[in-house]
Each structure stands twice: as structure tokens, then as C-alpha cells.
Structure 1
Amino acid sequence: MRAQKNSYFSATAAGYPNDNILNNLSSAISPVYTQSDDPSKPQSYLVSYYARANYTYKDRYLLTFTGRADGSSKFGPDHKYGYFPSGALGWRLSKEKFLEDVPWIEDIKIRGSYGLTGNQNIGNQMYRTLYAPNSYAGNNALTPIQLGNPDVKWETTKQTDIGLDFSFFKNRLSGTFDWYNKQTDDALLQLPLPPSSSYGMLLSNSVGIRNRGVEVSLQGDIIRSHDFRWSVSANISWNRSIVTRLTKNADLSQIRTPTGLEYGNTTLIEGQPLGLMQGMKVTGIIKTQKQLDDYKAKLGPMGFVFPYLGIGDPMFQLDTVSFASIGGAYPDFHALIGSGALKYFGGFTQGFSYKNFDLSLYFLFSAGGHLMWGDDVASTTFVGTSNANQSMLGRYTAQNPNASRPRLLLSDQIIYNTNLSIYSSSYVKLRTATFNYRWPKSRWMSNSGILSAAVFFSATNLFTITRYPGNDPETSDDSFSVAGAISM
């Protein structure tokens, strides 16, 4: 059992008769502010029960069963416990009689597993509706701070794995192959609520996500001699994450766009991958009076959004959206402008050894994704004293009519999250390089009690090949980060 409890008390008062001696709370004339435990962060408990059984027959057939039950105070009385069984089977083919005499096979094993895992990584007591003490006009008051959801429960992921392990040629070649399928039907997500509710967010099991992919790993010695060895290892992964379900709760329907659910700088759409980036899609720069007039006509009543619209400004992709609640249609600027989903990613290592010298090179690579360059977004309006990046130099001017970037307006406060700030995140990077020298054993080392000694030099992030103009394409996945990029 694991328990967590935080407690505190603080008080402030004014009107002390003496700051040196009579300075405790009871000496003050009037209390100013008193505060104790935050009701939104009370104590929490987790109790777990775990059982495991293993069975092996002739080191050929392997069976594992695991049963787990967890109870968490983070969920309501009817949903505190989650049950997560799992099982795995293994078959070592290399131990079978029809393969025992094959000299170049060391090991071949087929394995498979199925199991459930749970997630309770949320705040404490979020299933409750909470109020905080406050004061207004000299009177005591209670202020709503959290809308509870008593139906919130454990997030459960069902996972299936099928794998193959092998080793050949006296372990000169080995590797693994894995196929997996993870299905989460009740992912925990904080959904925004309309301001009229007086609450900001509501936690619910509102999203279904499927992760399916393949992982391959290989290791081998290309050259293995007495003095020289060249070894290679590589791994590559293909993963696809699909949104399989969005909440259909009518009370939350107003925060859904016509295509999906906006969340941060991304959009969740049923049947589409995770990491879809939303924003405003620039279709061109206004360069003639006719283009300006046509675009204003297309904007219609929504033209007030761009009060200074003129030649040199961007034209955005518009979709006409109809909503019964407002009794008509209006142009919608929301568009999908990129995807952070990768086609594949991985790494590979080159290792060289010659006598007492070792050299290791570790590379990483990624292909197929996109990043939104946060610094470029912040530089779009050029407001305030912050530095802007050099993309500002490509703005539209009378002397630069063929520019792909819009003109610059003084004190323009509209910040565009547009496709102009979306770049490919594909890269190849030399993450680390290490050179090592192993001192040969000698009499003085033995006499000194030194068993071994080595000296090495290591360098990190030596070079990166990429089209992404920011600091590093291998960046944070914080969707609100402006340090490097915005991605999912």
C-alpha cells in the first residue's frame, strides 16, 4: 500500500505592538489571511495486490501468468478498483529435435502475450466537485473550483504482442522482431468547458486510442578477427496511433469542431492519427487589387477579423460552416496544417575495435513527421521587444512582391499559427561518438593493484542533417513550448 498526504497551515495578521518581542499571531490586532490544506490537493492512497506464476517445461515451453488489482483513492467509490491480468507464452524452437543438430542456430524463440495495464496518472480527488473558501465584501463565501465526474475510472489498455528472438552463427548475428497492438478505449482527458459553466475543465474517460506497430532490432559482427572487430547494431520502429473514439456526451458537444476535438494546438479526429496540427492555412499572398476585393467578398461578415486587410496580407483557406445555434453559416479558418506522426524512427551503432583502441558511433534518425517552429510563430507579429528570427527578412514589400511571407503591420496583435511555420522534422543525427584506449596489462599495474585502466573521449550531438530550421528537430513534445517547436 502506498499513501501520500500533504498538510499545511498559514496565517497572516497586522497591527503588532512590537516587532521585536510581541510578534506572535496572538499579539496582532486584526487577522488578515488564514489558509490551510488546499481542498483540490488532499491525500491519496493506492493499494495493490499482485500474483505471478511461471512454468517451464524442458526449457522449451514457457508460460507466465500475472494477476494484478489496484485500488486508488483518485476514483469514485464505484470505480476505485481496476483489475489487470496478463499472460505470456514462449516456444523455444531451437530446443526441438528437428533443429538441435543445425550447427549455425544458437537460439530461436517465438513468444506472444496479452494483458491489461491501468493508468491513474491524474490529480487527487478529481472525481469530486470542489469548492474553496473565499471572502467577498467582508462575508464568507465558497467558490467553485472543480467540476467533479463520479463516473471517471481507471484508464485501461489492452495489449497484444507477438515476437521472435533469434541468434545465429555463434552469436555473430542476433535480433528481435515485435508486432504489437495497444487499444485504449477510455483514455483520461481534461476537456474544456464553456465559460458560462463557471468551470474550466472536466475530466472524463473520453477518448479511444489504438497504437499498432512493428519493431525490428539487429546486431551482428561484420568482421571478427584476432586484432580487428567491426560490429553493427540497428533498430527501426513503425508505429501508427489512431483515434478510435471521441466522447459523444451532449454536454461537451459545443467544444467539438465540425471535424473533431480541438486540444491545445492539435485536433483529435475519429479515424485519424494523433498529432494532427491545427491552425490557419495560407493559400497565397494578396498581390493585386482584384485578389483583395475577391478575398474580402469571400470573408463576408467575418472581414472584421482583419480590419487592416490589404495588399501583402495572407489569404487563408476558408470552409463554410453551418451551426443551428447561431442560425446560419460563417467562414471557418480552422484547417489541418501538418502532422507530428512519424512514418518510422530508430537508430544504429557502428563499433570498431583494433587491438586496444575502440571507436563507437551512435546515430539516430526519424522520417515523416512535422514540427511547428515556435520561434517562427512568435516572430510573425514582431510585437514587443523580443528578438525575431531571420524569416522576418522574407516579408512582402513593394520591393519584394514575390515573397511567400505576408507584410509586416505595426502593432498587429493577430498571431497566426499557420502552415508557413510548419517544417519537416525528418533528421539523421550523430548523437554520440566515443573513442576509448584500454591500457595493456603490465607488471607495474599488477604491482600497483590495478586490474584495468582506460582513457576515453566522448562527444555528443556532433551533427544533424535536417530541413528543420529550429535548434533541434528532436525536440520537446510540449504542445505549448516556444523553446524549439510545437509538436505532438
Structure 2
Amino acid sequence: MFRENYIDQNGVSNGSRIGRSLESYFTQANYNYAGKYYLSGTLRRDGSSRFFKNKWGTFGSVGAGWVISEEDFLSSSETIDFLKLKASYGVLGDQGNNSFAGQLGFNVQNLLGLPSLAPRAVVDPNITWESSQSFQTGIEARFFNGAIDFGLDYFVKTTTDLYVNKRLSPSTGDAIILTNDGEMVNKGLEFDLTGNIIRNEDFKLSLSINGSMYENEITQMPIENATGEAKVINIDGNFAQSAGRSRFDYYLREWAGVDPATGNAQWLESWVDENNNGQYDTNEGINDLEVYKAANPGASIQERVTTEYADATRKYNNKSLIPTVSGAFRLNTSYKDFNLSAQFSYSLGGYGYDQQYATQMSNGKVGSYSYHADMRDRWMNPGDITDVPRLYSNENIRVNAASTRFITSSDYLSLNNVRLGYSIPTQYLENIGLSSVSLWVSRR
């Protein structure tokens, strides 16, 4: 009985074990002169078992700081308590998450009840570390006897030898190969400001705010194996990547509302009058705008409204997942033995794709889906002006397919935590052997 269960294919247990290693050598040096001048440096050499030929990478960083407020010309300032300039440059390496990125191998499998070896997908034996060169400079300052604390940093991070999947010729027997190619730049500002607005014996009030603003740009696209030239665009779900664009720019068909006469959904289609007859003809539509413009520079491109989702043109719509600024701010105040603090987070300028909302605005078979309350505003009679198409039962089902219709602002202001507290005065605690007691209530 036990043996029959053991050989039954539905009851076979399985498992795996993956071994990988990283060998590193590291050195660091720090120098401080007179509490005014600071230097630091690191150097490391890393070797990863994930790679085949190019296992080793050399990385490091240098940094410098100057406390200007310690100089004689500022040491007696009544305005500037502390002022420091700083800058650093470093090179970092990323070994990725593929345990056998550059090594051919085999997987042990079961074939008709017997052990077998199946070759893994093709690999690039020259694959190596993804490398990032980072430069950062900034300022730290405190003014008016601690009334204002301020920090500002600017950074530029250039990442080369990106890990990318390249498509292979069908004759190779494999679809894609992981390799190093392309370049991307991240740059931006980070700031931190605290104002101790009121500071007297009974009442205190301070406000802190921090945030980051950064830009992402692909500066070099990977080379296509089939053409030997830089890839024009890489479409990745609702996003696309191309030179000069962000990693998270939306690339979708553009929603054009609802036809008031029929209630059908509408999108925009780009097209070119190839036969110069002044009107749209079959096969003059453009499927992917960036690909077409790269192949036909200077073409006179027009737009029309279509009710066929498949005819609509995929294109950039100048919306990105990346916010313009995001961060947090905090309020702290106290009056005698009572204290109150609140922390908020915020984000402005980014956009998200509301897939859940799209699902609830479908034209699937009635009874198979839950509808959003907005479905009550759907088109029902000729002449209705609405942005919700006519409701069909399992017809015209592409009304909720991916388009700019479901891109929505991701701006938010969120209360993360609020805390109210009370500290019992020490004169009431001296006789019971306690030095302090605080009572508080908090809400997240």
C-alpha cells in the first residue's frame, strides 16, 4: 500500500537546492582634520558564482565634507549655527537574482519514472555585473540657535550594463537570453526642513517636512540581435521604454469617450494618408506610434476617432508612474504636560492604472461580474452625454481594455500616525518611587 502511493505521479514530492557564493575583499579609510575637513574612501573587490567568465568586479567610493561653520570667518556668527558642504562619488555593482546567469547547466527531471537531465535555457557566458556610478552633493545647515534645520542633496546615478532580456531567433530553440546592455540615468533632489517655530517654557511647536523629486531617463536602448541597431521601443505591459523616456512612462491607446449616438466606446487612431486622397482608407492606420515615427521620420500623421479597439494607436500620453514630489511632514507640539504629534505622507504628480476599476466596468456576461456604481451613468439613449459606454451582455467586451481611460492621478495626502500624550508631573511621583509616568493614545 505504501509503495503504490510512493510511485503514484500525483503523490511524488519534490524539492530543490541552489548554491551560490560571493567572495569579497574590502578596505575603508576615514580622515578628519580639526573637525572641519573630512575625507573617506572605500574599495572592494567582489567575485560572484552567478557569472561564468566575468565573475569579478571592482567597486568603491570617495567622499569629502567641509564644516564651514568651524572656519574663523563664521565661528562667531549669530545666524549660522552649523553649515556643512559634502560631496561623494561611488561605483556600485549588482549581481542580479539569477543564480546561473552565465552558466550552462541541466535540471534533473522525471521521465517515465526515471531520472533525466534537461538542458537549461541558453545563457550569455559574458554576462557580468550591472554597474552604477553615483554622484551626490549636498548641504547641511542649522540657523538661529536651532530654530531652523535644513538639508538639501542633489544626486545623479548612471546605471550601465543593464540586465535585459533580448529576443533570439526561433532557430536557436530559445526565445530570450539575459545579457548586459543599455544605460539609464536617475537624478533628483532630496530635501529636509525642520522649523522650531515656538520654543518657550510652556508651549512648543515644530514642523518638519521632507521630500524627494527625481527624474528617470533611459539614455541608451539595448541593441537588437536581429538588426544590430538600438531597439526603438520595448513595450512592457502598460508601459514602454525608449531612449529619452522614463522607465515607467505609460504607452497605451488613448480613450476618446463615448459616441452619443450609439453609446459605443471610442479611441484615437493615428493614420497617414498614403495615397493622398484626403480621406482615411483601410490599412492606413498606425499600430505603434513610436515604431512608425522611427521608420518614417517627417511623416504627416493625422488622428481620427475609431470604435474598434484593435485599430486604436498605442502611444505615449505624457503620464508617468513616477511622482513629481513625494515625502512626509510631521507636526509636534506641547503645552505644559500635554503633547501632540502627527505624521503625514504625501505624493504629487504621479499616475496609476486602476485595474480594479477597469474590471468593474466590463461588458462581460451579465451576472458574472460585480459592477462599479459608475455603471449607473452608462449610455442608455441616443443623445446621452456620458463617459460610460453602453452596457452589453458579453458583447463589445473590449470597452474596458487597457487605455488611458483607466489612468488616474495617484496624488494623496495620508495621515500615518497621530499621538496624544500626558506626562504626570514629577511632584506627584516622588513619594511612590517613580521618576516619570507618561500616558498616551495613538492612532495609525
State whether structure 2 residue 286 is matched by structure 1 residue 286: no
SS at match of 1:98: coil
Among 387, 391, 396, the alignment partner of 2:374 is 391
State whether structure 2 residue 294 is matched by structure 1 residue 300: no
Q: Residue 307 of structure 1 aligns with which residue?
A: none
Structure 1 position 139, deviation (Å): 8.3
Q: Residue 30 of structure 2 aligns with which residue?
A: 54
State whether structure 2 residue 234 is matched by structure 1 residue 261: yes
Partners of 1:215 and 1:235 within 8 A in 2 = yes
Partners of 1:144 and 1:199 within 8 A in 2 = no
TM-score (structure 2 length as normaliser): 0.81
Amino acid at match of 2:45: A
State whether structure 2 residue 189 is matched by structure 1 residue 209: no
Residues 211 and 429 of structure 1: is their aligned pair in 2 closer, same or farther, counting only changes over 3 Å? same
Amino acid at match of 1:120: Q
Distance 1:400 1:278 in 2: 32
Of 97-106 and 171-180, more deviation after overlay is shown by 97-106
Distance 2:160 2:288 in 1: 33
Residues 360 and 191 of structure 1: is their aligned pair in 2 closer, same or farther, counting only changes over 3 Å? farther
Distance 2:167 2:387 in 1: 35
Structure 1's unaligned 5+ residue stretches are 1-15, 17-22, 304-315, 324-329, 461-488
State whether structure 2 residue 348 is matched by structure 1 residue 363: no
Q: Residue 67 of structure 2 aligns with which residue?
A: 92
Among 87, 93, 98, the alignment partner of 1:123 is 98
Residues 35 and 189 of structure 1: is their aligned pair in 2 closer, same or farther, counting only changes over 3 Å? farther
Matched ranges for 1:201-350 at <5 A: 201-251=176-226, 259-288=232-261, 300=282, 333-337=313-317, 338-350=319-331
Distance 1:221 1:391 in 2: 47
Of 431-440 and 83-92, more deviation after overlay is shown by 431-440
Structure 1 position 373, deviation (Å): 0.8
| Identical-residue share of aligned pairs (%) | 25
Structure 1 position 230, deviation (Å): 0.8
Amino acid at match of 1:91: W
State whether structure 2 residue 414 is matched by structure 1 residue 429: yes
Structure 1 position 341, deviation (Å): 2.2
SS at match of 1:250: coil
TM-score (structure 1 length as normaliser): 0.74
Superposed CA RMSD in Å reads 3.6
Q: Residue 402 of structure 1 aligns with which residue?
A: 385
Distance 1:170 1:360 in 2: 23
Structure 2's unaligned 5+ residue stretches are 272-278, 294-309
Distance 2:182 2:372 in 1: 38
Among 137, 150, 157, the alignment partner of 2:132 is 157
Distance 2:417 2:338 in 1: 17
Partners of 1:157 and 1:182 within 8 A in 2 = yes
Amino acid at match of 2:128: K
Structure 1 position 388, deviation (Å): 2.6
Of 367-376 and 422-431, more deviation after overlay is shown by 422-431
Among 73, 79, 82, the alignment partner of 1:107 is 82
Distance 2:287 2:257 in 1: 9
Q: Residue 311 of structure 1 aligns with which residue?
A: none
Distance 1:178 1:29 in 2: 63
Partners of 1:283 and 1:317 within 8 A in 2 = no
Residues 46 and 408 of structure 1: is their aligned pair in 2 closer, same or farther, counting only changes over 3 Å? same
Residues 48 and 319 of structure 1: is their aligned pair in 2 closer, same or farther, counting only changes over 3 Å? closer
- Deviations along 1:317-366, one digit per CA (max 9) or x if unpaired, are 9859769xxxxxx9663222432122222222121110111111222222
